[in-house]
Structures are given as C-alpha cells and as structure tokens.
Amino acid sequence: MDLKVKVAGIELQNPIILASGTAGYGVELEPFMDLSKLGGISVKGLYPYPREGNPTPRIWEAPCGIINSIGLQGIGMERFAEEYLPELSKQKTAIFINACGEQDEEYFRVAEFFDPYEEVSAIELNLSCPNVREEGNCPALWPDWSYKIVKWTKQSTRKPIIAKLSPNTSSMVEVASACKEAGADALSLVNTYLAMAVDFRTRRSRLSTLFGGLSGPAIKPLSLRAVYQVASSLDIDVIGIGGITRGEDLLEFLLVGAKAVQIGSITLREPAAAIRILNEAVSLMKKEGYNSFKEITGRLNIV
Ligand SMILES: Cc1cc2nc3c(=O)[nH]c(=O)nc-3n(C[C@H](O)[C@H](O)[C@H](O)COP(=O)(O)O)c2cc1C
C-alpha cells in the first residue's frame, strides 16, 4: 500500500504525526517505538527562552480525556537545538517545531532561529494554547491577530508554516481564512477545548488555574466537525487533531478532508499508540480494497 501523503509541500512517509506536548522532544519515546516509522513529530512548544509553565496541579483526568494546564513549560529553543535536535534528527521522520510566543515577535524569533536547520521540516505556530493567557485568550481566537503573526513569521523562514488553530471560537473558518491569506502553507486543528474541573468539597479548581484544555476521545466528534468545516471551506492542507485513538479514527479524519493527523493524549497512556493506530488503519484500508490513503482523503459523501 502507498502510505505517503503530502502536506504543506512536505512528503511524509505516512499521515501519522505525534502531537506537540504529548511526546516531549521526541527522543524520550525512543525506548518505546521506532520513531523512523512515523510520518512526523511535532515537538513540545518552544519559546525563545526557557519557561516554567503553570504551578501544579496541572493535569486532571476527565471521563474520556484529560484537562491540562501545563502552561507551555519548556527548555527554550537554544537548549532544544543543542541537546535534543542532533539525536532526534537521526530518525527518518519529519520534525516540526511548535513555535510559541508571549509577545508576537517571539514567534518570528523561533521560526528565524530554526531556518538554517535542514533537519527541521516545518514550523507549526502554536496560536491556540488556552492555558497561558487570561480566560483562554490566544491569537487563534482572532482573525486579525492570527493574520499578523503568520504574515510576520512567513518572512522569517523558508520553511513551510503551519498555523495551529483553536476550537474555542465560532470564527474558526474566518481565522483559518486569515491564516491562509497571510501565507500559511497548512493548518493544524484543533488544540484543546477550554474546560474546567472543580472540587465541590474544597470549592476550588482541580487545577492551579481556573481553566484548562480538554483533549482525548471526548473531543473527537467536535474535532471531526471542525476539520470538516475548515477543509470543506478553504483550499489549504489541513492536519486533523483531536481524540484519535484507533486506526478507524484516523481514516475518519482523512475522509472529512485532513491530509494527515496528529496523535496526542493517547500517547501519554500508551507510548507506542501511534504505530498501533497506523497498523490498524493500514489493515482496515486493505480490507476495504484501497491502495492509498489519498483514495479516501476528502471523499465524504454528503448527499
Ligand atoms: C499535556 C498536553 C500538553 C500539550 N502541549 C501542547 C503544546 O506545547 N503545543 C501545542 O500546540 N499543543 C499542545 N497540546 C495540544 C495537543 O497537541 C493536541 O492539539 C490536543 O491534545 C488534542 O489532541 P488529542 O485529543 O489527541 O490529545 C498539549 C496537549 C496536552 C494533553
């Protein structure tokens, strides 16, 4: 079977990418699976500098998912480039840098910094983390804000730019359209859903922050709808994310228009889940008589 897919102009050996924040800097998962079997890895969000993230507790298990409020803890772009990238780049898989910024110009700095690194395939702009600003605010809630960041960062690098969108807005198609107009090569969606967990006994939040972001199987139907809406409205590559835990989930995301997918929270429970999901999808495709993933991409029958 032909497993290859093309997204943002990059050829991936298959449509499976590990989602940012659920796979560390990639190399931590080497003991569990052969990373060279993956289509790609999006590394934990990187700022130009190290960040501590939010105080604990910052993960709460919910029915069918988790609510996190990590707050983008990380070692910063320079340490990642020195300590992790050389090892990660030995793997035959595409590397995506998940770029973050407290100030808008920081996205530019991260993208510019990685431009000379040939082993980096693309820059994924994290415009959508719901647990670093008040009330879940983030650039991807606003078409103008997203446009500005994509436009700027596009000038900082020759690498493809993927804008990662938020589901926490009724203007997702407008935001997606603004990112496309600003020059984004692809969109990835979705980041987590703004959520809460509270304890009636202590009358406090279960997290150190009031809100967190919900991910996992609970969000799959919502994410599928979001991917369909964006992929069917705009002519741009879409990477589908949200609650994928089985091969069949992956095929459903391709069917509604995603060119590739990212595997997130399931990796925290089952570190090699991505490979299992790929194998399951391939078996299902063979059973149904398909020869390539491209044959079902965007082929949802809506009449
Ligand atoms: C613990 C945790 C940390 C995350 N960190 C990031 C991050 O650094 N950057 C980012 O763009 N998304 C981050 N995400 C969002 C995931 O990449 C993904 O979009 C989301 O979890 C939905 O996919 P899932 O339902 O398969 O987990 C994080 C998610 C979790 C659960």
pLDDT in tens, 188-232: 999 999 999 999 999 999 999 999 999 999 999 999 999 999 999
- The full 3-state SS of 52-65, as one line of letters, equals CCCCCCCEEEECCE
Distance CA 300, CA 303 (A): 9
CATH number at 45 reads 3.20.20.70
d(CA 123, CA 52): 22
Instruction: State yes or no: pLDDT of 43 exceeds 90.
Output: yes
DSSP state of 253: H
* Test site for ligand 1: of 59, 192, 252, 253, most ligand atoms within 8 A of the Cβ: 192
Q: Determine the Cα–Cα distance for residues 240 and 260; give it in Å rounded to an integer.
A: 6
3-state SS record for 65-82: EEEECCCCCECCHHHHHH
Residue at 302 is within a domain: no
- C-alpha angle 47-5-40 in degrees, rounded to nearest 5: 30
**pLDDT tens track for 230-284:** 999 999 999 999 999 999 999 999 999 999 999 999 999 999 999 999 999 999 9
pLDDT at 85 over 90: yes
> Which of 104, 170, 105 shows the shortest CA–CA distance to 138?
104
Task: For residue 152, give the DSSP letter.
Answer: H
Question: Residue 39: its pLDDT value, please?
Answer: 98
Structure token pair of residue 102: 């407290």
Domain membership of residue 126 (yes or no) is yes
Q: Whose CA is nearest to atom 3 of ligand 1?
A: 21
In this prediction, residue 265 carries a pLDDT of 98
pLDDT greater than 90 at residue 66: yes
Cβ(15) to ligand 1 under 6 A? no
Helices 172-181 and 143-154: angle between axes, nearest 10 degrees? 30
Tell me the two tokens of residue 265: 């929270």
pLDDT-derived band at 134, boundaries 50, 70, 90: confident
Q: Is the pLDDT at 56 greater than 90, yes or no? A: yes
Token couple for 213: 């972001």
What is the number of domains present in the chain?
1
Give residue 303's pLDDT.
Answer: 82
Q: Looking at residues 74-84, what average pLDDT do you find?
A: 98
- List the structure tokens of 287: 């059973």
**Contact criterion met (CB below 8 Å) for 68 and 215:** yes
131 band by pLDDT with thresholds 50, 70 and 90: confident
The rounded percent of the chain whose pLDDT value lies above 90 is: 97
Tell whether 303 is covered by a domain: no
Write down the pLDDT at residue 135: 87
Across the beta sheet with 212-215, the strand order is 59-62, 65-68, 212-215, 193-195
Residue 46 lies in a domain: yes
Rg over alpha carbons for the chain, rounded to the nearest Å, is 18
* Residue nearest atom 15 in ligand 1 by C-alpha distance: 191
| Residues belonging to the active site | 129
User: 302 CA to middle of ligand 1, Å?
Assistant: 30
Q: What is the mean pLDDT of residues 6-20?
A: 98
Average pLDDT for 146-157: 97
Query: Is 90 exceeded by the pLDDT of residue 45?
Result: yes
Degrees to nearest 5, angle at CA 186 with 276 and 6: 55
Q: Which residues pair with 263 in a beta bridge?
A: 18
Domain-embedded: residue 300 = no
- The pLDDT confidence band at residue 287, using thresholds 50, 70 and 90, is very high
Q: What is the mean pLDDT of residues 53-74?
A: 96
Q: Is any atom of ligand 1 closer than 6 Å to the C-beta of 68? A: yes
Lowest-confidence region among 130-134, 158-162, 174-178: 130-134
Q: How confident is the model at residue 98 (pLDDT cuts 50, 70, 90)?
A: very high
Q: Per the structure block, which two tokens stand in for 219?
A: 């969000």
Q: Is residue 58 part of a domain?
A: yes
Predicted local confidence at residue 155, as pLDDT: 96
Q: In which band, very low, low, confident or very high, does the pLDDT at 175 lie, cut at 50, 70 and 90?
A: very high
Domain residues for the domain of 202 are 5-295
Mean pLDDT of the chain: 97
Give the residue, by CA position, lying nearest to ligand 1 atom 10.
20
User: Is residue 139 assigned to a domain?
Assistant: yes
C-alpha 226/C-alpha 60 separation (Å) is: 24
